[in-house]
Amino acid sequence: MFYIVEVHDYVRVEPRLFGLKTSDAVAKQLQEIYTNYHDKEIGEVIGIISILEVGDGVIIPGDGAAYYNSKFKLLAFKPEMNELVYGIIDEITDFGAFINLGVMKGMIHISQTMDDYVSFSTTNTLLGKDSKKVLKKKDECLARIVAVSYKGDNPKIGLTMRQPGLGKLEWIKEEKKKAKAAAKKSMRAEKAEKKEKK
């Protein structure tokens, strides 16, 4: 889920930025600090939205930098359990698929790709035995987050597509068409039954 996070912190501005206007120096330093930044509490920082306040600077003996008490807003993505996510299949392996969620990647175990027996094909696709569904690189999908682990530098996201309304977008459209056709057929049968009773 995307969040706007307000942060109040001392920003260490390096001496090489002292020639800039203070607010510009703080902004430039924040861009450098939060590029590829991830925190368990905040999530993956996408960017700095705005700098709300820059206070007076403090110099600490032995450190050539200046510290500015600042308040700023960040845009962050933090994966949440049971959240629905859209993504594009980046890679197919013999144990599942990796899906690009835009900000980070998630992994779908082969058993969670579809409600069927799934096998890995030599053409780098995942094939459903009975349904004949095929999952390949660059397929657009809708999945649900079922696990988030914060061990290591980046979070590991586990996904499933086995629940109704999830999976490759083409499968979802096909299921909707089938459900609509079944509903129409049921309505016609009901109407015919009512006519017979009259």
pTM exceeds 0.85? no
DSSP assignment of 41-108, as one string? TTEEEEEEEEEEEEEEEEE-TT--SEEEEEEEEEEEE---TT-EEEEEEEEEETTEEEEE-SSSEEEE
Residue range 84-179 forms a domain whose CATH class is mainly beta
In three-state secondary structure terms, 191 is helix
Provide the residue ranges of all domains of the chain, joining segments of one domain with +: 2-77, 84-179
pLDDT by residue (tens digit) across 160-190? 999 888 999 999 999 889 888 888 888 888 8
The CATH code for residues 2-77 is 3.30.1490.120
pLDDT by residue (tens digit) across 26-85? 999 999 999 888 888 888 999 999 999 999 989 888 898 999 999 999 999 999 999 999
2-77 with 84-179: one CATH topology? no
